[in-house]
Amino acid sequence: MACLNVAQKENLAAFCKAEQIHVLWDEEMKNHTSFKIGGPAKAVCVPKDREQLKKLVCFIRQQQLNVWYVGNGSNLLVSDEGLDGVVILLDAPFDGEIVVQNSILEAPAGKKLSAVCTAACTASLTGLEFAWGIPGSIGGAVYMNAGAYGGEMKDHLLWVEYLNRDGEVVRLEKEQLGLSYRHSCFMEKEYEGVCILRAAFLLEAKEKAAIQSEMDRVMAQRKEKQPLEYPSAGSTFKRPQGAFAAKLIDDCGLRGLTVGGAQVSTKHAGFVVNIGGATCQDVLDLTEKIKACVKEKTGYELELEVKVLP
CA angle 143, 139, 249 (to 5 degrees): 50
Residues with a catalytic annotation lie at: 182, 235, 305
Count of beta carbons in the 10 Å neighbourhood of residue 181: 12
CA dist., res. 30 & res. 28, Å (int): 5
CA dist., res. 274 & res. 297, Å (int): 26
